[in-house]
Structure formats: structure tokens, C-alpha cells
Amino acid sequence: MKNRVGRIIVALVFLVGFAFYTYDQEKNSMHSDDVAFFGEAKGLNAQAFEGVSMEAEPSPEEIVGQPMEQAAEPEATPEATVEPTPEPTPSIPQVDITSWELILVNADNRLGSDWTPERVITVSDSQCPIDSRIEEPLMAMAQACKDAGLSVYLSSGYRSYSEQAANFTRVCNNNGVADGKDANGFYITMPAGGSEHQTGLAVDITDRYYEIKNASLENTDTFKWLKEHCTEYGFILRFPKDKEEITGVMYEPFHFRYVGVEVAKYMTENNLCLEEFVALYQE
Ligand SMILES: [Zn+2]
């Protein structure tokens, strides 16, 4: 009995299928005028199908893009309507970027031959000339370093324009170069006007006298101490190892520059060199 019913069903399905097939064949072969229409209809179907498939199976970009857009929206709405709230990231210090201790001097920002600091003094226990305004923080830093059991040598401070010109020629001759740059294209000595030693705000600090100051000085205990504590006195390591491409100057683990405590700490915490810091104020 079951077999018989099964056979009937199979036969019916076959007959219905055959009927549809025949109809379709007839339609295609006999009504050639409809071929164009059929093509259009097929096109419509394909479009509809594409639409459905996009909804059902978003491409990887869409999957990634959706949640990001959705996540961004709730944040944007309150910010636009509610009173401004403190930023989670530290805002830039409220300083006058044109102030004397923030002056930017480099190869692109040169001082004139007649530019001199307000008042140059020579600190008591060395022959190092500096801008008088950095005497107190510089001496405090040097004393703290000595108190830590380390020796401190102020090897170079203020240099006039003409002194820097002579310095440039001497260093170029010693190194067999004409432009003051090393093999990597970074300055080992600055052309006159381009050295911030002319400001009196920069001091080369080492543990003793060196004929040549280079990157190996980073291994001295005096440098290690200064690097860790200089910001407490308002100084920065002006030409760090990882900023040569920006400063254009080779790594100098001895050249410290006064910028003030607030700015020194901000620059160090945010890993900025002076060029990058000054750029924050040039909107
Ligand atoms: Zn220097």
C-alpha cells in the first residue's frame, strides 16, 4: 500500500516537473520576441537577489564598519549638547609660546649675528657663561647631582654668533665635512645662528672634560641622573636619540636646555622634542 502511494507521488512530481519544463521550453523557443523581455526580467531578478544577499551576508568591511559607527554615535551626541567636560588626555600647558625660555632655535630658525641674551653671567665655580635667568635652576640641578655623589662639569654654555661660526669651522675641519653634518645627515655642529647655545639657555653637562662629546656619554652615571631629574629643574634633553629626524641634530646625551618646569615635564611625559612642542601652538 505504502509503495503504491509512493509511486503515485513520484509520478505526480515527475509529471508536474515535465509540464513546467515543456512550458518553459515552448516559451523560449516559440516566442522569440520575448527573449529581450526575459533578459530584462532576469536582470531585475538578479538585482533583487543581490540586494537580499548584501543584507544577509555583509562584506567584511561592513561587519567591521557597523559597530564602529554605532559606537561613535552615542559619544558624539552628548558632546554636542552638554557643557564641555575635561578631556581625558592632558591638554597643552597654558604658556606664552613667545616667552624667552621657549625660543626655538635650529637650522630653520636662526638668530641674527647681533642677537644676544638679556644678560649673560658666568657661574661662580666654572667658566661657563649662561643667561642669568637660568642660574638658579641650573645651580640647583648641579648641586642635587653632586649631592647624589656624582661629578658635574659645565662644559659649554653661551656662545656668541661669531664664536659659533668659529666653532662650526673647527668641528667641520676636524671631521672632514663642509656642512656640519654626519654620515646620516644630522648636524654635529650648527651653522652660526642655528645653535641654541647663542640663547644662553643651553648647557652641555658632562661628568668631566672631554675632547670630543658623543653618544657614548649616555653611559655615564652623571648623564643617567640628569636624564631622570632634569625636568624637575625645568631642563630637557634637547636632542634625544629617537628625535634626530625631527631636530635634525645627532643624539647629544649632554646638551640640556631650559624651558621651565611645567613645559619640561609635559614634553617628557608626552615624548615631544621642542620642535614638536612649539608646533602644538601654531594652529
Ligand atoms: Zn650643546
Best CA proximity match to 256, nearest among 163, 152, 147: 152
Statement to judge: residues 121 and 77 lie in one domain = no
Statement to judge: residues 51 and 180 lie in one domain = no
Statement to judge: residues 186 and 274 lie in one domain = yes
Say how many Å lie between the CA of residue 221 and the centre of ligand 1: 19
Statement to judge: residues 132 and 70 lie in one domain = no
Of residues 44 and 189, more confidently modeled? 189
Say how many Å lie between the CA of residue 115 and the centre of ligand 1: 18
Of residues 21 and 244, more confidently modeled? 244
Tens digit of each residue's pLDDT (9 = 90 or more) over 264-283: 999 999 999 999 999 999 97
Cβ atoms of residues 236 and 268 within 8 Å = yes
Give a yes or no: residue 136 inside a domain. yes
pLDDT at res. 14: 47
Grid cell locating 194: 642655528
Statement to judge: residues 56 and 185 lie in one domain = no
Give a yes or no: residue 271 inside a domain. yes
Say how many Å lie between the CA of residue 262 and the centre of ligand 1: 22
Statement to judge: residues 64 and 154 lie in one domain = no
Statement to judge: residues 74 and 109 lie in one domain = no
Cα 238 from Cα 259, distance rounded (Å): 10
pLDDT at res. 125: 74
pLDDT at res. 146: 98
Judged by average pLDDT, the poorest of 81-90, 105-114, 175-184, 198-207 is 81-90
Which residues are close to ligand 1, an ion, with C-beta < 5 A? Answer: 204, 255
Residue 48 has pLDDT above 70, yes or no: no
Confidence band of 181 (pLDDT split at 50, 70, 90): very high
Tens digit of each residue's pLDDT (9 = 90 or more) over 90-124: 689 999 999 999 999 999 999 999 999 999 999 86
pLDDT at res. 33: 37
Give a yes or no: residue 117 inside a domain. yes
Give a yes or no: residue 77 inside a domain. yes
Residue 249 domain boundaries: 100-279
Give a yes or no: residue 113 inside a domain. yes
Cβ atoms of residues 226 and 141 within 8 Å = yes
pLDDT at res. 273: 98
pTM: 0.69
Say how many Å lie between the CA of residue 225 and the centre of ligand 1: 18
Say how many Å lie between the CA of residue 148 and the centre of ligand 1: 24
Statement to judge: residues 72 and 110 lie in one domain = no
Say how many Å lie between the CA of residue 151 and the centre of ligand 1: 18
Residue 45 has pLDDT above 50, yes or no: no
Statement to judge: residues 173 and 212 lie in one domain = yes
Give a yes or no: residue 86 inside a domain. no
pLDDT at res. 283: 72
CATH number for the domain spanning 214: value is 3.30.1380.10
Statement to judge: residues 137 and 44 lie in one domain = no
Confidence band of 87 (pLDDT split at 50, 70, 90): low
pLDDT at res. 27: 43
Confidence band of 79 (pLDDT split at 50, 70, 90): low
Say how many Å lie between the CA of residue 270 and the centre of ligand 1: 23
Say how many Å lie between the CA of residue 51 and the centre of ligand 1: 67
Confidence band of 89 (pLDDT split at 50, 70, 90): low
Statement to judge: residues 63 and 106 lie in one domain = no
Statement to judge: residues 115 and 75 lie in one domain = no
Say how many Å lie between the CA of residue 35 and the centre of ligand 1: 86
Of residues 79 and 202, more confidently modeled? 202
Give a yes or no: residue 87 inside a domain. no
Give a yes or no: residue 95 inside a domain. no
